[in-house]
Chain A
C-alpha cells in the first residue's frame, strides 16, 4: 500500500471513532461518568505519546514529564480564567509555554546521560512545581479555580494532532536521527549527527504535547493544585510508556487506554492501584525489559514478511 493510502485509512478511522462517540454522547448513551473517563483517556494518550518521543524514540530517560503538564495546565488556566481569552488560544499558548519550558530545561540537561539526566529532569519538574506552589497569583498551595471547558471534541482533536505530528516526526529524517541516538549515542555522534540538537528538538516536541494535554487536563477539572503534578504523576506517565514498549507508539497508546480503565475502576482503592502499578513495573522490567510491545507497532502484527514488517 502507498503511504498516502495508509494515511487516509487512519484519517477515516479517526473520523469514524470521533463520530460514533460524539453521536453516543449527544444521544446520552454515554453518561457524564464515561465521558469523563474518555477525556481522561485522551489526556493520558497525549501524555504517553509525548513522553514516548523522548524515552522511546530518542532514548533520553526523562522522569519529570509532570512538570511540563503543569506548565500547560497553569498557563492555559491563567489565560482562560484570569485573562478571559478563548479556550483554543489558551490550549495553544499553554502548549507553547510548555515547549519553551522544555527548551529551557532541555538545553543544559540533555548534555547529561542516563541516570544523571533522569535525576536532573526530576529536579526540574520539582522546581516548576515549587514555583507554582509559591506563586500567589495562581493560588499557591490551595490551587486555582478553572472553568470547565474541555469537551470530547477538544480532547480527541488533541490526541489526533499529537499522534499525527509525533508519528510523522518519527518517520522523518529527524526521527531517524533520534532513533540512531537511542541505539548508540556515540556512534550517532561519530556519523555526524548533531546529537544535542536532535535531543533538544525531541524534548521540546514532547513538552509541547505534554502542555497541550495539560491545558485540556486543567479545564477538565474545576481546580488545579501543585500537588497534582508531583513525582507520582510523572511515574504514572512513565508506566504507560514502559508497559507499552520503549519505542512503540501504538504500545504507549494501548497502555494508556488500558491503564486508564484499570485506574478508573481502582479509583476507590488508591493504595491497591499503586501496588499493582509498581508490581507491573518490576515484573515487566525483570522479564521483558523493552516493554510488552518492544519497539514493534501494532500494525506490524498484521503484515508478516512484508516491507516494514517484523524485524
Chain B
C-alpha cells in the first residue's frame, strides 16, 4: 500500500514538473532555445500567488488566475526584450543570454525582498482521504486535477484554435509559415505567454503543496522540468506530460527506498542515460542533421 501512496505523491510532484516542462518544450519546439529563465517564471508565479493569498486575501483560484496572467505578460516581456534579437544568433549566444536572464530575475528578486523563504498560507483544509487503504491528501488531488485541467486546455488550444495551428506551423518551418501569412513574431509571443502561464500555475500549486517558497526555488525544478521535456522528446507536448509524471514517480520511488539525498542525482542520471541512448526522447523520432 505504501508503494501506491508513493506513486500518488510522485504523480502530484510529476504534474508540477509536467506543467513547467510544457513551457520548455513549446518554446524549444518553436525557436530551438532552452529557456533557462523558465524556472524563474515559475518562481515569480509562486510569489504572485503568495502575495495574492497572504496579503490581498484572494482565494486559491483567483490567485492562480492572477499568477497565470502576470506570468504570461512576464514571459512575453522576456521574449521581446532579451530573446527576440537572438533569432539568428548562434546557439551558444542564445543559451548564455538565457542563463543571464535567469540570474537577473533571481537576483533582482533577492535584491528587493531578500533571500529568506516565505511560508505559504494554507488555502485548503488538508484532509486525508482513505481510498482502499491508501492515504491520499486532498492537496495532492487538487494539484493533480488543476494540472490535468490545464493540460486538457492546452491540448485544446494547440489542436483546435487558430493560434494553435499557427504555433504548429511555425514550429514546423518558420519561413514557410511566414510565407503563408502567419505573423511569426506574434505566434512566438503567444507560445511564451501560454508556456509562462502554465509555469505560473505550477508555481502556485508548488507553493500550496510544499508550503515554502524562496527566490532560488526555480533552479532545481526548472532543470528537472527540462529533463522531463528531454525524457519525453523535446518539442512534443504529450511527451512533456509523460516525462514529467515519470520523473516525479522515479523521484518518489528513490525517496521511498531511503535514498532521498540522491533524488536530484537520480534525475540527472536519467537525463544522461536518455541523452546517450535515445537523444530524441521516448516519443521522438530520430532526425539526421543535413549538411
Which residues of A come within 8 Å of B, CB atoms? Answer: 55, 59, 61, 63, 108-109, 111-112, 114-116, 118-120, 122-124, 126-127, 130-131, 133-134, 186-187, 190, 231, 235, 238, 242, 246, 271-272, 274-275, 277-282, 285-286, 289
In this assembly, does B77 line the interface, its C-beta being within 8 Å of a C-beta of chain A?
no
| A-binding segment of B3-11, B93-101, B197-205, B236-244 | B93-101
Task: Give the chain B neighbours of A235 by CB distance below 8 A.
Answer: 99, 103
7 closest cross-chain pairs (CB), A and B: A281-B100, A123-B268, A278-B103, A278-B104, A274-B107, A289-B93, A282-B100
Assess whether B279 is in contact with A275, with CB atoms less than 8 Å apart.
no
Assess whether B97 is in contact with A286, with CB atoms less than 8 Å apart.
yes
In this assembly, does B108 line the interface, its C-beta being within 8 Å of a C-beta of chain A?
yes
Assess whether A285 is in contact with B100, with CB atoms less than 8 Å apart.
yes
In this assembly, does B269 line the interface, its C-beta being within 8 Å of a C-beta of chain A?
yes
Assess whether A123 is in contact with B272, with CB atoms less than 8 Å apart.
yes
Say how far A196's CB is from chain B's closest CB, in angstroms: 13
Say how far B287's CB is from chain A's closest CB, in angstroms: 13
Which residues of B come within 8 Å of A, CB atoms? Answer: 32, 34, 82, 85-86, 89-97, 99-104, 106-108, 110-111, 219, 223, 226-227, 230, 261-262, 264-265, 268-269, 271-272, 275-276, 279, 289, 291
Task: Give the chain B neighbours of A187 by CB distance below 8 A.
Answer: 291
The answer, among B90, B94, B99, B101, for a CB contact under 8 Å with A238, is: B99
Assess whether B261 is in contact with A130, with CB atoms less than 8 Å apart.
yes
Assess whether B265 is in contact with A118, with CB atoms less than 8 Å apart.
no
Q: A108-B272, A271-B107 are in contact. Are A289 and B89 (CB under 8 A)?
A: yes
Task: Give the chain A neighbours of B289 by CB distance below 8 A.
Answer: 186
The answer, among B95, B104, B106, for a CB contact under 8 Å with A282, is: B104
The answer, among A112, A116, A281, for a CB contact under 8 Å with B96, is: A281
Assess whether B95 is in contact with A61, with CB atoms less than 8 Å apart.
yes
How long is the Cα–Cα vector from A84 to B275 in the complex, in angstroms? 41
Q: A108-B276, A281-B99 are in contact. Are A119 and B226 (CB under 8 A)?
A: yes
Please name 5 further chain A to chain B contacts, defined as beta carbons within 8 Å, in addition to the given A115-B95, A130-B265, A271-B107, sorted by A numbering.
Answer: A114-B95, A115-B34, A116-B279, A130-B264, A285-B94
Task: Give the chain A neighbours of B227 by CB distance below 8 A.
Answer: 119, 123
Task: Give the chain A neighbours of B219 by CB distance below 8 A.
Answer: 231
Assess whether A63 is in contact with B89, with CB atoms less than 8 Å apart.
no
Task: Give the chain A neighbours of B91 by CB distance below 8 A.
Answer: 61, 114-115
Task: Give the chain B neighbours of A131 by CB distance below 8 A.
Answer: 265
CB closest chain-B residue, reference A134: B261
Assess whether A126 is in contact with B264, with CB atoms less than 8 Å apart.
yes
Say how far B219's CB is from chain A's closest CB, in angstroms: 7
The answer, among B34, B95, B101, B271, for a CB contact under 8 Å with A123, is: B271
Assess whether B34 is in contact with A118, with CB atoms less than 8 Å apart.
yes
Task: Give the chain B neighbours of A130 by CB distance below 8 A.
Answer: 261-262, 264-265
Assess whether A285 is in contact with B97, with CB atoms less than 8 Å apart.
yes
Assess whether B264 is in contact with A114, with CB atoms less than 8 Å apart.
no
9 contacts between A and B (CB under 8 A): A63-B99, A109-B272, A120-B275, A123-B227, A133-B261, A190-B291, A278-B102, A281-B96, A285-B89
Assess whether B264 is in contact with A112, with CB atoms less than 8 Å apart.
no
Assess whether B276 is in contact with A111, with CB atoms less than 8 Å apart.
yes
How long is the Cα–Cα vector from A274 to B99 in the complex, in angstroms? 12
Assess whether A278 is in contact with B100, with CB atoms less than 8 Å apart.
yes
Task: Give the chain A neighbours of B269 by CB distance below 8 A.
Answer: 127
Assess whether B230 is in contact with A119, with CB atoms less than 8 Å apart.
yes
CB closest chain-A residue, reference B104: A278
Q: A61-B92, A119-B230 are in contact. Are A109 and B275 (CB under 8 A)?
A: yes
How long is the Cα–Cα vector from A271 to B32 in the complex, in angstroms? 30
The answer, among B34, B82, B101, B107, for a CB contact under 8 Å with A119, is: B34
Say how far B129's CB is from chain A's closest CB, in angstroms: 35
Task: Give the chain A neighbours of B104 by CB distance below 8 A.
Answer: 275, 278-279, 282
Say how far A229's CB is from chain B's closest CB, in angstroms: 14
The answer, among A63, A186, A274, for a CB contact under 8 Å with B103, is: A274
Task: Give the chain A neighbours of B108 by CB distance below 8 A.
Answer: 275
CB closest chain-A residue, reference B32: A115
Q: A119-B34, A131-B265 are in contact. Are A112 and B103 (CB under 8 A)?
A: no
The answer, among A119, A190, A274, A282, for a CB contact under 8 Å with B271, is: A119
The answer, among B86, B106, B276, for a CB contact under 8 Å with A285, is: B86
Say how far A285's CB is from chain B's closest CB, in angstroms: 4
Q: A114-B91, A116-B275 are in contact. Are A124 and B268 (CB under 8 A)?
A: yes
How long is the Cα–Cα vector from A275 to B102 in the complex, in angstroms? 10
CB closest chain-A residue, reference B277: A108
Task: Give the chain A neighbours of B86 by CB distance below 8 A.
Answer: 285-286
Assess whether A275 is in contact with B107, with CB atoms less than 8 Å apart.
yes
Task: Give the chain A neighbours of B111 by CB distance below 8 A.
Answer: 271-272, 275
Task: Give the chain B neighbours of A190 by CB distance below 8 A.
Answer: 291
